[in-house]
Structure 1
Amino acid sequence: MKAVPHNLPSLGNDEAEAASKVIRSGWVAQGPEVRSFEEEFASYLGLGAENVVAVSSGSAALFLALKVLGAEGKKVATPVYACAALRNAIALAGGQAQYLDNSPESPLMNLSDPKIKDAKILIAAHMFGIPLDISSIKDKIIIEDVAQALGASLHEKKLGTLGHCGIFSFYATKLITSGGQGGMFVSLDASLAAGVRDYREFDARRDTKIRFNFQMTDLQAAIGRVQLKNLPAFLRRREEIYLAYVESGLPVLRPPLASQAIPVRYRSVLKCTQPKKLQKSLEAQGIKTIVPIEDWELQDTPVDDYPMALDLCRSTLSLPCYPFLSKEDQQRLIEIAKESEL
């Protein structure tokens, strides 16, 4: 029985050669490859190199965004339906998390939630690769969380360039990876990017300001540069996989899209009554799936106050959607799922 993982990095010979070249150069710490990665990433988003800073992880990028925006002591609106990295970054930056529920039948936060009122900062998470329309928010400092949505756009602008700043993740299972970890901070305001860059340069030895080592290595950046070139092909393949699930008749979660929104398919998620039962059926055949956010992950919150998020926690299952997934394995998964009680 062939094992099918839920996710798999799309790495090949080009990434191996890029990493090998850096190793042979003798310079593996932050250096010219990181600068080139920043320049190429900036170009992809339509920004200048001064607007982009490569860091050690997406979580680090979010923490640094909160630091340079002065989150300490301020209320920060954030989705309750999200990974723990958001609430951890808020806590480490000294902010006060203000959790917002989802919109109905959607992984996106509900920007009409009254709890947003007192927040000074908003973390706008584009969950599952679906653009969250933030155009109605005029009185908040907005950090776009684009960890799951690199390449998506709204109103003909790439996500990450719509708020005051944006953060990206290059973890092993994200849309691209820089060798397992990595992240990027971006902002149209070059002074914010300069603040993040200054914080990253922990060993600058020019004054006694507190900084920390949030650097990306040249080894990571070399892999990330190859991955960025392959991103369009990765996104096309993910779209093919997503559409195959939809066209099969499986109950794929398909939230309404904002006007002029172009999503990417970071996740292909089923909305069903017995996700754990289906998960066990697929696992018995060697196919791995995950519940995107478990109900216990709504940490330190009275879950009954977040009925939309709780519903998704208990009724969704994420299927394999990575570019290296074969058509044969996907079809086998579809056939097993269609025989199950959904």
Structure 2
Amino acid sequence: MTNIPPVDLARQYKLISTPVETAVLDILSSGRYIGGTVVTDFEQQFADYIKVRECVSCNSGTDALYLALRALNIGKGDEVITSPFTFIATAEAVNLVGATPIFVDIDPDTFNIDVDQIESAITPKTKAIIPVHLFGQPVNMTQVMEIAQKYNLFVIEDCAQATGAEWDGKKVGSIGHIGAFSFFPTKNLGACGDGGAVTTHDSTLAAKIKMLKEHGSRVRYCHEDIGVNSRLDAIQAAILQIKLSYLDRWNEQREEIAKCYQTLLSPLPYLQLPQALSGGKHVWNQYTIRLPDQQQDTQLYRDLVREKLQKMGIISMIYYPLPLHLQPVYQNLGYQKGQFPVSETVCNQVLSLPMFPDLTFEEQQQVAYGLKDCL
């Protein structure tokens, strides 16, 4: 019996080590480490993959969200609707531009924002919606775009965990006004360090994002706005180019692993399996189950299962143990415990099992049988 990590990047590296090492050494030999054709080539390739006109790379998914909000002139006094069940970067970027995040509860089956509740959160101050395609599952973007059009709102897709996912045949990041991607190493498309990108069909928005990410400058040493330093370095761009060519295959492998888990784990008592929403293509950045405590709504049951799995060498993760509206930093927003009951319940129950393209069938069986033993 071997230890099974949540993600095994070393195993992935072995598959692509030769082209990656060649590309990195070429860049080191060139002396051109920032910018250059390697970066612009990746931007074009990623734009082609997402099927958008423009891609602007940056140094993280957080910056991608921040730059998107800045480009749309969202700031002090504005409100942006999003989910409380996500990594803090989604809401954090809203605060960084001076706006206020407004939370809407999630759907218990998809873990994504409950689209049916969005309209009730819209006020005269609302300027945008940030739907988060969580765990690789696309949000119902048809409904989101209908609401946005009705109320004249911008839509920024948070695609950090969903590169390659689709809604109604369209890649996420190509449906809203702007898409924001993360290339953190554990993502479906991950760099060997931090990285991110913004996608859009709007060339004017793309030009503004390029300016903002280069210290507010279009022409060197001429600064027309207060910007930031948010560049994707050439080494990361070269690695991402190589990995992009594998992405569809890796996503297909993830889907097969998810199907295998569904078969091996169904049916089991005290266990809710993740479901792929009809109309979308899930890319399974995480395989996240729910472990409801039949006695009371606490995380104790989930945590005990996780501890037992770890003793068996099966390492799981909890995304996310505390919803954003209950985070200490957001107590000033005035949200109360119980206000978003689905998010709060899910935070006590979720457990993400090992999920990566090279997870073997034997390892999948080990995870599933270990979980069965625990339950």
Q: Which amino acid aligns with 1:172?
A: P
* 1:145 aligned onto 2:158: yes
Q: CA, structure 1 residues 117+16, in 2 after alignment: closer, same or farther (shift >3 Å)? A: same
Q: CA, structure 1 residues 254+333, in 2 after alignment: closer, same or farther (shift >3 Å)? A: closer
Residue in structure 2 matching 1:310, options 344, 352, 366: 344
* 1:105 aligned onto 2:114: no
Rounded Cα–Cα distance in structure 2 between residues aligned with 1:154 and 1:325: 26
**SS of corresponding position for 1:135:** helix
In the superposition, the TM-score normalised over structure 1's length comes to 0.94
Q: Which amino acid aligns with 1:45?
A: I
Residue in structure 2 matching 1:57, options 48, 60, 85: 60
Q: Is the 8 A contact 2:323 2:343 kept in 1?
A: no
Match of residue 297 from structure 2 = none
In the superposition, the TM-score normalised over structure 2's length comes to 0.86
* 1:223 aligned onto 2:239: yes
Match of residue 6 from structure 2 = 6
Shift of 1:133: 1.2
**SS of corresponding position for 2:29:** helix
Rounded Cα–Cα distance in structure 1 between residues aligned with 2:25 and 2:272: 41
Q: In the TM superposition, what are the counterparts of 1:177-192 in structure 2 within 5 Å?
A: 177-192=190-205
Residue in structure 2 matching 1:253, options 273, 285, 290: 273
Q: Runs in 1 of length 4+ with deviation above 6 angstroms? A: none
Higher share in helix: 2
Residue in structure 1 matching 2:29, options 21, 24, 28: 24
Q: Is the 8 A contact 2:286 2:352 kept in 1?
A: yes
Rounded Cα–Cα distance in structure 2 between residues aligned with 1:238 and 1:29: 33
Q: Deviations over 1:271-308 (max 9, x none)?
A: 11332111111111222111111026542342310101
Q: Is the 8 A contact 1:98 1:115 kept in 2?
A: no
Shift of 1:324: 2.4
Query: How large is the RMSD of aligned CA atoms in angstroms?
Result: 1.7
Q: Deviations over 1:245-282 (max 9, x none)?
A: 10002545334614x31221111111113321111111
Rounded Cα–Cα distance in structure 1 between residues aligned with 2:313 and 2:275: 29
Shift of 1:17: 2.3
Q: CA, structure 1 residues 245+269, in 2 after alignment: closer, same or farther (shift >3 Å)? A: same
Percent sequence identity over aligned pairs? 29
Q: CA, structure 1 residues 5+256, in 2 after alignment: closer, same or farther (shift >3 Å)? A: closer
Rounded Cα–Cα distance in structure 1 between residues aligned with 2:48 and 2:81: 30
Identify unmatched segments of 5+ residues in structure 1: none
Q: CA, structure 1 residues 45+106, in 2 after alignment: closer, same or farther (shift >3 Å)? A: closer
Larger deviation, residues 171-180 vs 106-115: 106-115
Rounded Cα–Cα distance in structure 1 between residues aligned with 2:8 and 2:2: 15
Shift of 1:45: 1.5
Q: Which amino acid aligns with 1:319?
A: L
Match of residue 262 from structure 1 = 281
Q: Deviations over 1:170-206 (max 9, x none)?
A: 0011001122210010111111111100111227212
Match of residue 169 from structure 2 = 156
Residue in structure 2 matching 1:78, options 82, 102, 112: 82
* 1:234 aligned onto 2:250: yes
Rounded Cα–Cα distance in structure 2 between residues aligned with 1:142 and 1:195: 17
Rounded Cα–Cα distance in structure 1 between residues aligned with 2:97 and 2:51: 29
Q: CA, structure 1 residues 175+325, in 2 after alignment: closer, same or farther (shift >3 Å)? A: same
Q: Is the 8 A contact 2:90 2:158 kept in 1?
A: no
Q: Is the 8 A contact 1:105 1:308 kept in 2?
A: no
Identify unmatched segments of 5+ residues in structure 2: 293-300
Larger deviation, residues 112-121 vs 29-38: 112-121
